A and B are shown apart, each in its own frame.
Chain A
Amino acid sequence: MRKEDTVKLISAEGFEFVIDKNAAMVSQTIRNMLTSPGSFAETQHGEVTFPEISTTILEKICQYFYWSLQFASGKETEFHIEPELTLELMMAANYLHT
């Protein structure tokens, strides 16, 4: 996987998730971040820090990205969400416009 095809997402606690750009761009917010014409810091370094998203949630989000790509390509499986994560996930989703 080439570096320019990936993006590093960093959680509030400093955990780093390196995932495909494709997957990350499931989030409209991240997509804007990476494609905006001006070169923002994120576009330059290929990493995004989310000081308001905890590691657990960010991990779940990354899982969701990949699941979503699969789902879109026709593989219809269920995405399991633990009930206690639901609310925070929803807020993150709103933030990320996913």
Chain B
Amino acid sequence: MSNQKKRNFQIEAFKHRVVVDPKYAEKTWKILEHAIHEIYNHNASGLSFEELYRNAYNMVLHKFGEKLYSGLVATMTSHLKEISKSIEAAQGALFLEELNRKWTDHNKALQMIRDILMYMDRTFIPSTHKTPVHELGLNLWRDNIIHYSKIQTRLLNTLLELVLIERTGEVINRGLMRNIIKMLMDLGSSVYQEDFEKPFLEVSAEFYRGESQKFIECCDCGDYLKKAERRLNEEMERVSHYLDAKSEAKITNVVEKEMIANHMPRLVHMENSGLVNMLLDDKYEDLGRMYNLFRRVSNGLLTIREVMTSHIRDTGKQLVTDPERLRDPVEFVQRLLDEKDKYDKIISMAFNNDKTFQNALNSSFEFFINLNPRSPEFISLFVDDKLRKGLKGVSEEDVEIILDKVMMLFRYLQEKDVFEKYYKQHLAKRLLSGKTVSDDAERSLIVKLKTECGYQFTSKLEGMFTDMKTSQDTMQGFYTNHGVEIGDGPTLAVQVLTTGSWPTQPSVTCNLPAEMSVLCEKFRAYYLGTHTGRRLSWQTNMGTADVKATFGKGQKHELNVSTYQMCVLMLFNNADRLSYKEIEQATEIPAPDLKRCLQSMACVKGKNVLRKEPMSKDIGEDDAFFVNDKFTSKFYKVKIGTVVAQKESEPEKQETRQRVEEDRKPQIEAAIVRIMKSRRVLDHNNIIAEVTKQLQSRFLANPVEIKKRIESLIERDFLERDNVDRKLYRYLA
């Protein structure tokens, strides 16, 4: 074929198709078949790729594709049959290795065959919709090797046995495992799933069912969880080393179900080591483990949460109802805070700061704190204690932390108005006695209360602070005007308190010593002179005084006492001995207060400026009092505290309670009117619901009380009952 010819007859390009040796196909195929044999026998080095490729190319081009393809299938199948025999013959541990080696060989051969038959792969196969060479090779391998009856079960058993061996802690050839598993995956995901994964999961489930049963009989909860965690990690590690990544979820599921889900209640309630014991002993690690494991199964966390909640509620209930604990309010609140801290720490260290757990904790606290009606009082007392003395020498940040904790308890309270009542009382005492340690801390707490409950809640508290400030100015004004007249006499500091802002008790003004009452009158004149239309009344029960005293042997002391105590002490300027009755008559101090103030001056060691006959702990109506000439103290200034009403006594408590109830009435009424004004008509149940909701931030309204208020409003013609439906109320504008 010269160039000359080509130029004349371009059509000659079809030369391939023209003349064909009738035996051409047979001959060519023989060459290729021989080559395939050689390839399987690792003898390919002598073969010419170009020649083989050209032969295959020409066969396809000359329409012998079908022959080529079927020839390939037959040749490959026969080779695989031989291979299967040699694999089958492999003994024991060699079996997998032989399989792996043959698989590698087959893969290599397959690739070479595919390369030389590339042209068929490219043209003939797509047009006849046959399986491409590579896939064909895999399918033939699957059918002739993996699904060969004498190999299939043996392979599966070998694999499962190896896994079992590894689970018992021995080392296996993971590389070989990985190759075999990889082979199964290469043969298609269905092969992997059917021939390995499914039976693997079944066997694993059985294994873990047995093991968990064994463990749970002999281990405590912590150890069991450790074992379960280790197993879980082992399985995940196994997957990462030699299984399909998709199997991870499935196998972990099996472990979770068999080792955790099936034993959850038993684990949680396990005696001496269950969840409750872990909580009691702050076993963060074990708790964290439990959380992480249980989180994996449905209802796992719910189980933990429920047990934790009921435990907190139980212990909390014991805490708030134990009469021993109620003796000391500060201690009581401190315990609550400690308890809260404990669980906060558990939740943050072990429970991943899980919101649902925090909520459970909060609702548990809310539940048991309100079981004790005195909680609001105690919390306020706790604050009082802290602000009086507890915050000395504590940095600002720490103060904030303590206050924040208190606010957290406050949030749990249902009867916030009761707290407000007590807080007002305690704050008033602190302000008037000048005992607050830090103004900043006081104000910071007020701000917190304000953000929590709104302006209304704190307006009166803030009013108290304003009064204090104004009083200072007033006193300055008073002394600039009258300073000269007063001269060396006793000095007076008056705090003018706005009625309504302060928790003034309707108290009897006691008889002040003459020196004092003169001064008081001067002040009254001055004050009413500058402010018209006001009325002043003295709250002698709330004041304090500094008294300079000289005792028998000339010891001089400055005594810091309450106004009542001052009145009593002043009496001794003119008498050596006074009976209880005489004191009571002269001062007109109410009996309980008088007793308390005498007790603090006569019965407290180190502060006993008075002497009493007979000597006893309590004040009797027939006792007589003397100045204690032998009084000594290391300090010049002596602070004589009244036996401060730490906790309210029973009648006082009742009284406060009553006042709170009294205060609630107008609030409930206001809420009813507000609701009815917008709704016009509403039935009874809905009113109750809405009122409760509106007042929730302050207190839990009692439905019976609401009903009473509604009736009172009907009487006063704010509302009327519907004529037809007696359950409906109408608003009368």
Contacts and interface: CB of A to CB of B under 8 A. Distances in A.
A97 B122 contact: yes
A98 interface: no
A88 B16 CA distance: 12
Interface stretch (A14-22, A42-50, A70-78): A42-50
Contact of A40 (B7, B48, B119, B122): B48
A29 B637 CA distance: 110
Given A88-B13, A91-B13, A97-B122, A38 B39 contact: yes
A33 B49 contact: yes
A39 B53 contact: no
Interface in A10-33: 28-29, 32-33
Contacts of B119: 95, 97
A41 B46 contact: yes
Nearest to A50: B50
Contact of B108 (A38, A42, A50, A54): A38
A32 B111 CA distance: 10
Contacts of B46: 41
Contact of A41 (B39, B49, B112): B49
Contacts of B10: 84, 87
Interface residues of B, number: 25
Q: Which 6 A-B pairs have the closest CB atoms?
A: A38-B44, A40-B49, A32-B115, A38-B112, A33-B49, A36-B115
B49 A42 contact: yes
With most chain A CB atoms within 10 A of its CB, the pick from B53, B54, B108, B119 is: B53
A95 B46 CA distance: 22
Contacts of B266: none
B44 A39 contact: yes
A54 to B, nearest CB: 8
Interface in B117-166: 118-119, 122
B57 A28 contact: no
B481 interface: no
B50 A33 contact: yes
B417 to A, nearest CB: 82
Contact of B54 (A38, A43, A52, A97): A52
Nearest to A95: B57
Interface in B35-55: 39, 44-50, 53-54
B4 to A, nearest CB: 11
Contacts of A37: 108, 111-112
B49 A84 contact: no
A51 to B, nearest CB: 8
Specify the main secondary structure of chain B where it touches its partner. helix
Given A84-B6, A97-B122, A36 B111 contact: yes
Contacts of B49: 32-33, 36, 40-43, 48
Given A84-B7, A91-B13, A95-B57, A38 B50 contact: no
A28 B6 contact: no
B45 A38 contact: yes
16 contacts: A32-B49, A32-B115, A36-B49, A37-B111, A40-B45, A40-B48, A40-B112, A41-B46, A42-B48, A43-B49, A49-B50, A50-B50, A84-B6, A95-B54, A95-B119, A97-B118
Nearest to B123: A94
A52 B57 CA distance: 12
B327 to A, nearest CB: 89
Interface of B: 3, 6-7, 10, 13, 39, 44-50, 53-54, 57, 108-109, 111-112, 115-116, 118-119, 122
B112 to A, nearest CB: 4
Contacts of B54: 51-52, 95
Interface residues of A, number: 26
Given A36-B115, A84-B6, A87-B13, A29 B53 contact: yes
Given A38-B108, A52-B54, A32 B118 contact: yes
A63 interface: no
Nearest to B111: A37
A56 B6 CA distance: 12
Contacts of A40: 44-45, 47-49, 112
A87 B111 CA distance: 32
Contacts of A38: 39, 44-45, 47, 108-109, 112
A32 B39 CA distance: 15
Contacts of A87: 10, 13
Interface in A57-91: 84, 87-88, 91
Given A37-B108, A91-B13, A29 B47 contact: no
Contact of A36 (B6, B13, B57, B112): B112
Contacts of B39: 38
Given A38-B39, A48-B49, A97-B118, 12 more contacts: A32-B116, A33-B53, A36-B112, A37-B108, A38-B44, A38-B47, A40-B44, A41-B45, A50-B50, A51-B54, A95-B57, A95-B119
Contact of B48 (A28, A41, A97): A41
Contacts of B13: 87-88, 91
A42 B45 contact: no
B6 to A, nearest CB: 7
B108 to A, nearest CB: 5
A34 B54 CA distance: 15
Contacts of B116: 32, 36
Contacts of B53: 29, 32-33
A53 B263 CA distance: 77
A38 B106 CA distance: 12
A52 B51 CA distance: 11
A35 B35 CA distance: 18
Contacts of B109: 38
A85 to B, nearest CB: 9
Contacts of A50: 50
A23 to B, nearest CB: 17
A42 B50 contact: yes
A29 B49 CA distance: 10
Nearest to A31: B115
Contacts of A56: 3
B34 to A, nearest CB: 14
A48 B112 CA distance: 17
B122 A44 contact: no
Contacts of A39: 44-45
Nearest to A9: B50
Nearest to A47: B50
A97 B54 CA distance: 12
Nearest to A38: B44
Contacts of B47: 38, 40-41
A56 B7 CA distance: 13
B52 to A, nearest CB: 8
Nearest to A32: B115
Contacts of A54: 3
A33 B115 CA distance: 8
A26 B71 CA distance: 31
Contacts of A97: 118-119, 122
With most chain A CB atoms within 10 A of its CB, the pick from B46, B49, B109, B116 is: B49
Nearest to B46: A41
A38 B13 CA distance: 34
Contacts of A91: 13
A39 B112 CA distance: 9
Contacts of A32: 49, 53, 115-116, 118
A88 B6 contact: yes
Nearest to A52: B54
A42 B47 CA distance: 8
B273 to A, nearest CB: 60
